[in-house]
Amino acid sequence: MKETILLTKILFKSSITQSNKKKNSIGKVLFYLFIYLYIAGFVGYISYEIIRSLMLIKQEAIFLNICFIVVLCFCLIQSIITSLNVLYFSKDIEILLPLPITPKNIIMAKLNSLILSQYILIAVILLPALLIYSYLLKLSILFLFVGIIIMLLFPIVPITIVACLTTIVMKFTNVVKNKDIVQYLTTGITLILIIALQFFYTGTNNQITNQELAQKIVENNGLIEVYSKYFITLTPTINSLLNYNNIQGILNILILFCESIIVYYLVTIIISKFYIETTTSVLSSNSKNSKKIEDKVFVKENTLISYIKKEFKILVRNPIFFMQCVLPSILFPFILLLPMFMSLKNMGSEQIKIFQDILSQIINEPIGVLGAIIFTIFLFMFNFCSVTCISRDGQNSTFMKYIPVDYKKQLLYKILPGVILNIIPISYVIIIAKLFISTIHLKTIFYIVSVSILINILNNYLMVLVDLKNPKLNWITEYAVVKQNFNIFFEILLIIIEIGAIILLGTFISNIDLVAVILIVMFLLLNILINKYINKQNVNLFKKIY
Amino acid sequence: MIEISNVSKSYENNKKIIDNLNLKINDGEIFGFLGPNGAGKTTTIKMITGILKMEEGDILIDGISIKDNPVEAKKKFGFVPDSPDIFLKLKGIEYLNFLSDIYKVSINNRKEIIENLSKKFEIYDNLNDKIQNYSHGMRQKIVIIGALLHNPKNWILDEPMTGLDPKSSHILKELMKSHTQNGNSVFFSTHVLEVAEKICDRIGIINKGKLIFVGTYEEIKKQLKEDASLEDLFLQITE
């Protein structure tokens, strides 16, 4: 037991702190607080709307069903990804296996660390939701107290069951023994879910009244009740909250507690039966018979091409980097434009014609050109290639310093993948504009493309400088490079500032040619300045890499 | 030839990690750089290779300053870093091709060197695998091959024997010897004193950032007036 607690502490601590050697700065704390409050605020607002709608038909208790179904789905999806990584693909396995600790203790510690991490995530959903619920229904503080107990018990069963299922899959299949394949698969599943949700959302997101919303929720509640039958902990969870102030509530908490403990221990026993065998087979599955070396593998290329190819290979072959840095640039424009196309589908041909006419009238005006530029650079926000290009190399980044290639050239090579990926959103905007608005002038396209490309280059240069200023080189998992990287905040901030500047310019100058020329000259000058700065600073820029 | 003149380096709190280091590695010699953990070996190597900036002094590689003309100076050496976990997502052959492109090695030369060295180190058949699937020793071998691709005059190796099996370790030592016999230099750090004793023409011992001894094994014995192994002498001198 003592070993399990100790190991849980270490695993949990390393999962949340990762490689941060430095203490958390006030900036970082504020950033995470901002993100937390933003999401909590969003959840709170949605909860408020749903509960108020349900109150109109006196069915507010249904909100708890919805809330816990959402948390359940969240736990299940999150656990599929994390349980595989934590149980089978984490770097600590090779250290833990030789230690005199039983597999059962390792599994318990790993499950505990998964559950503890999950508490942080579900607190973002459950706390504001339950707070709003108790506020609107004027419930006593006891409700929140019961809510916190439920929050601690509820994730145990979904996490452990998913962990058990992944173990069975690992034991009896060969496909998922490769970490990279697993990460690509889980990414694919998550993306399909996001796109499906987007389809569902855009398909139903018409302006509806609170009464209609309540009606829809009540209709769906039948479905939720069906799910509750299959997921044993949902009923006692809801019942303990509905009866928080009587003996029924206490009984239901006890039922939930017993169910969670029994499932936890059963799963621990099942996983420990297979764990050593499965993990050792995963560890040994890396060695493969390689293809024979042929003459054609010796290829000579220009340094620029070779360097960029190397950058792209590392980006694409690393599932986490691919998912965080490459895929958003390709998919987000599509996901963002999907609601627009879905709305068009719902419109009649006459409405579409009116919509097209409006766009045709404004596209060659400042508002149209600037709108297209703003939309394009907004899409740049999802490209984290350059802001992580030094950090991604981790300890390998010193390589840049001992090869005989000028730092300035290497910076150019480093930003090019980001610049190339940003061509995708630029192309999306131009292709859609050309297809949808036949009256778009060639000059308008030229303005949109020129300004976007100049901003693209500038932003990528600035972001590589940000990464050089504060690189995150001592990471343990690739997740830390993007998800726990404060630098990406600067990318978002930069784009917000640029959008603000463009809007400001558009409000003062109404001549499209003048606006475009000012923007081109301004961003061209900024690019020249940044290049001069890089030339001047050169070695100093790399002083954090050693 | 590597010339280190009056080189110093401090931590942020002004504590010197390298204190006025002067050292010359001549052509035709294998120079072993020894010292306890944290003595300043890797820091010195990082300054020679341009990874770390020196605060005072200069380092010349074949007469070219790493401070003033870093790109040209870097062409003059091949470097094996202390960690071989490099670009794990690349295949062995991709890594070597990439380095050959960086150092502008012709197709014929790279083919000859890669085939020759990878066969010697017995990883030729694994070149088409990703480096992440290599063992520690295999990674060390690929990094060594990468460092020697452009046939540099000066080899700078940080703990090159780590992880190598006895056969590969022997091959590397033979390569080092034949490289210096052709009038080139090898500068390497090691904790394996037996290796240093057997193959080094001269050794340098660094402790707490200061070079406390430079010379041959015979000279250190003479200086301490003891006929002991290098291990015993090293322990005595660094205490």
Chain A, nearest residue to B111 by Cα: A298
Q: What residues contact A218, with CB distance under 8 A and at least 6 apart?
A: A54, A57, A59, A62
Angle (nearest 5°) at CA A195 between A194 and A201: 90
Backbone angles phi, psi at A291, to 5 degrees: -70, 155
Q: In chain A, which residue's Cα lies nearest the Cα of B127?
A: A293
Contact A292 B125 (CB under 8 A): yes
Q: How far apart are CA B69 and CA A83, in angstroms?
A: 51
B-proximal residues of A, 251-290, CB under 8 Å: 286-288, 290
DSSP letter string, B193-236 = HHHHHHH-SEEEEEETTEEEEEE-HHHHHHHHT----HHHHHHH
For an interface test with A, give the residue of B49, B55, B69, B98 to mutate (most A CBs within 10 A). B98
- pLDDT for residue A531: 94
**pLDDT tens string A401-419:** 999 999 999 999 999 999 9
Return the pLDDT at A20: 47
**Any B CB within 8 A of A546 CB:** yes
Cβ within 8 Å, pair B132-A286:
yes
The one-character DSSP state at A174 is: S
Main-chain dihedrals φ then ψ at residue A167, nearest 5 degrees: -65, -45
Question: Which of B17, B42, B45, B51 to probe by mutation at the A interface, max A CB count within 10 Å?
Answer: B51
A-chain CB neighbours of B53 within 8 Å are: 539, 543
Q: Measuring CA to CA, which residue among A164, A148, A174, A20 is closest to residue A83? A: A164
Alpha carbons A181 and A187: distance in angstroms, whole number: 10
Q: Give, in words, the CATH class of B2-76+153-238.
A: alpha beta
CB contact (8 A) between residue B71 and residue A297? no
The per-residue pLDDT for A121 is: 83
What is residue A263's predicted lDDT score, i.e. its pLDDT? 93
State the smallest CA–CA distance between residue A177 and chain B in angstroms. Answer: 14
Chain B neighbors of A295, CB-CB under 8 A: 111
Beta strands in chain B (DSSP E): 2-10, 16-25, 30-34, 56-61, 64-65, 77-80, 154-158, 185-189, 202-207, 210-215
In chain B, residues with a C-beta closer than 8 Å to the C-beta of A317 are 89, 130
Q: Does the distance separating the beta carbons of A314 and B89 come in below 8 Å? A: yes
pLDDT at A19: 46
User: Is residue A220 pLDDT above 70, yes or no?
Assistant: no
Q: Among all chains, which residue has been given the structure tokens 């901003």?
A: A455
CB–CB of B94 and A546 under 8 A?
A: no
How far apart are the two ends of chain A, measured CA to CA in Å?
42
Interface test with B, best of A298, A475, A541 (most B CBs within 10 A): A298
User: Residue A402 is nearest to which of B51, B114, B126, comparing CB atoms?
Assistant: B51
What's the mean per-residue pLDDT of chain A? 83
Q: Summarize pLDDT for A422-435 with one digit per residue, the tens.
A: 999 999 889 888 88
pLDDT value at position A81? Answer: 72
Look at B103 and A395 and tell me if their CB atoms are within 8 Å.
no
- Residue A117 distance to chain B (closest CA, Å): 28
Q: What is the pLDDT of residues A521-535, one digit of tens each?
A: 999 999 999 999 999
Residues in B touching A406 (Cβ below 8 Å): 71
C-beta atoms of A404 and B71 within 8 A: yes
How far off is chain A from B53, nearest CA to CA, in Å? 8
CB-nearest to A310 from B46, B98, B107 is B98
Select from A18, A195, A193, A23 the least CA-distant residue to A90: A18
* Extended strands (E) in A351-471: none
B interface test, pick of A290, A476, A544 with most B CB neighbours within 10 Å: A290
Contact A306 B106 (CB under 8 A): no
Residue A243, chain B, CB below 8 Å: the answer is no
**Cβ <8 Å between A398 and B51:** yes
Those of residues 391-410 in A touching chain B at CB distance below 8 A are 395-396, 398-399, 401-406
Model confidence pTM above 0.80: no
On whether the CB atoms of residues A67 and A126 are closer than 8 A, the answer is yes
Q: How confident is the model at residue A313 (pLDDT cuts 50, 70, 90)?
A: very high
- Chain B residue with minimum CA distance to A178: B133
Rounded CA-CA distance A233/A329 in Å is 40
Mutate which: A289, A403, A408, vs B, most B CBs within 10 A? A403
- pLDDT for the residue A17: 61
| A14-27 average pLDDT score | 59
Which residues of A fall within a CB distance of 8 Å from B85?
A: 395-396
Contacts of A304 in chain B (CB under 8 A): none
Whether the predicted pLDDT of A24 surpasses 60: no
In this complex, do A298 and B52 lie within 8 Å of one another by their Cβ atoms?
A: no
Q: Quick check: A58 contacting B, CB < 8 Å?
A: no
Q: Does the distance separating the beta carbons of B124 and A293 come in below 8 Å?
A: yes
CB–CB contact B71 A543 (8 Å)? no
Residues of chain B with CATH 3.40.50.300: 2-76+153-238
Specify the higher pLDDT residue, A300 or A192.
A300
The residues pairing with A71 across neighbouring beta strands, listed in sequence order, are: none
Per-residue model confidence (pLDDT) at position A494: 93
Predicted confidence at residue A255, as pLDDT, reads 93
The model's pLDDT over A89-98, given as tens digits with 9 standing for 90+, comes to: 777 787 888 8
Residue A225 has pLDDT above 70, yes or no: no
Residues 86-145 of A with CB under 8 A from B: none
| Beta carbons of B128 and A293 less than 8 Å apart | yes
Q: Is A545's Cβ below 8 Å from some Cβ in B?
A: yes
Other Cβ atoms within 10 Å of B108 Cβ, number: 10
- For A121-139, what is each residue's pLDDT tens digit? 888 889 999 999 999 888 8
User: What is the per-residue pLDDT across A455-487, written as a single tens digit (0 to 9) for each?
Assistant: 999 999 999 999 999 898 887 677 778 776 788
> Residue A120's pLDDT band (boundaries 50, 70, 90)?
confident
Mean pLDDT, contiguous 10-residue spans, chain B (239 residues): 92 81 94 90 94 92 94 95 91 95 94 94 92 92 95 94 89 94 94 87 91 87 75 77
In chain A, where are the structural domains located? 25-284, 303-542
As given in the structure block, the two tokens for residue A160 are: 């452990």
Record the tokens describing residue A70, joined without a space: 């959402």
- Residue B225 Rama label (left phi>0; alpha psi -120 to 50; beta): left
pLDDT digits (tens, 9 = 90+) for A242-261: 888 889 989 999 999 999 99
Provide the pLDDT for residue B188: 94
d(CA A72, CA A17): 26
Between positions 283 and 322 of A, the ones with CB within 8 A of B are 286-288, 290-293, 295, 297-303, 305-307, 309-310, 313-314, 317-318
Contacts of B99 in chain A (CB under 8 A): 403
Cβ pair A287:B133 closer than 8 A? yes
Pairing of β B185-189 and β B202-207: unpaired
What are A58's strand-pairing partners?
none
Q: Is residue A118 over pLDDT 80?
A: yes
Q: How many CB pairs under 8 A join A and B?
A: 106
Render pLDDT for A26-78 as a digit per residue (tens, 0 to 9).
766 777 787 788 888 888 888 888 888 888 877 777 888 888 888 888 888 77
Q: Where residue A211 falls among pLDDT bands split at 50, 70, 90?
A: low
Check CB contact under 8 Å for B50 and A306.
Answer: no
**Interface with B, mutate which of A308, A310, A475, A481 (most B CBs under 10 A):** A310
